[in-house]
């Protein structure tokens, strides 16, 4: 995904931006982990890479609306796509994603998947990973992110340069942030992940 974004920037004649600092899982705020799980994959610890309940709901909504709109990708699926594939909606790409997702769940385990995800996810134009996001938006470390800040960061994940860009869609981000704050109360991160 980072290479795809860099190619897009070059094609527009823009300078490629990339801010990223890798941090270990235990140096990322538990608030941020909970917020990301609440916003992106609340059943992360209950599935093996695919959330069949969310897939069923997405298919029903898409069928009723007559278009492919709602996503149901888990964190592991998003990570597989971001690390190895493109953003294409091609069915063959989705098949590759499924194979990689199963392998990642089997080989890496939940803690490592979360660590990688939180370090590569896009949080703005050229901003990748929890540490860069915390520094960019709040001038703090990923370890020190508060619950309120974590909910904000989680709120922009779906489209930090588009529909959830906090500079251009502040009210939409605020509504999603408030929802994530409520959902965070129900997210439990197992102790053995610490």
What pLDDT, on the 0 to 100 scale, is given for residue 31? Answer: 96
Between 47 and 141, name the one with better pLDDT: 141
Q: Is 113 left (phi over 0), alpha (psi -120 to 50) or beta?
A: alpha
- pLDDT reading at 108 higher than 80: yes
Distances (CA, A) of 84 to 1, 25, 81, 100, 138: 8, 21, 6, 9, 30
Q: Under DSSP, is residue 156 helix (H, G, I), strand (E, B) or coil?
A: helix
Contacts of 61 by beta carbon, 8 Å cutoff, 6+ apart:
69, 70
Number of residues in the chain: 194
Distance of CA 37 to the CA centre of its chain: 9
Mean residue pLDDT of the chain comes to 87
For 73-99, the pLDDT digits (tens) are 899 999 999 888 877 777 788 889 889
CATH number, span 18-40+48-187:
1.10.3810.10
Longest dimension (CA), the chain: 47
CA distance 165 to 20: 19
How many CA atoms, within 13 angstroms, populate the side-chain half-sphere of residue 132?
18
The C-alpha angle 15, 20, 23, rounded to 5 degrees, equals 175
What pLDDT, on the 0 to 100 scale, is given for residue 138? Answer: 98
For 6-54, the pLDDT digits (tens) are 666 567 777 777 789 999 999 999 999 999 999 999 999 998 887 778 7
- pLDDT reading at 64 higher than 70: no
CA distance 182 to 194: 23
What pLDDT, on the 0 to 100 scale, is given for residue 63? Answer: 62
What pLDDT, on the 0 to 100 scale, is given for residue 67? Answer: 59
- pLDDT reading at 191 higher than 80: no
């Amino acid at each position: 995904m980072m290479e795809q974004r860099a190619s897009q920037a070059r094609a527009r004649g823009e300078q490629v931006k990339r801010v990223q600092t890798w941090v270990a899982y235990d140096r990322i705020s538990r608030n941020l982990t909970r917020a990301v799980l609440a916003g992106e994959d609340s059943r992360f610890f209950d599935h093996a890479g695919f959330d069949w309940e969310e897939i069923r709901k997405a298919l029903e909504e898409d069928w009723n609306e007559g278009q492919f709109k709602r996503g149901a990708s888990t964190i592991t699926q998003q990570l597989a796509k971001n690390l190895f594939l493109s953003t294409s909606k091609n069915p063959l790409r989705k098949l590759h994603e499924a194979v990689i997702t199963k392998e990642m769940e089997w080989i890496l385990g939940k803690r490592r998947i979360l660590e990688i995800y939180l370090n590569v996810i896009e949080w703005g134009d050229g901003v990748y990973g929890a540490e860069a996001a915390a520094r960019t938006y709040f001038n703090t470390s990923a370890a020190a992110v508060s619950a309120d800040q974590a909910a904000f960061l989680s709120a922009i994940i779906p489209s930090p340069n588009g529909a959830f860009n906090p500079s251009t869609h502040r009210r939409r981000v605020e509504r999603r942030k408030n929802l994530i704050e409520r959902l965070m109360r129900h997210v439990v991160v197992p102790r053995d992940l610490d």
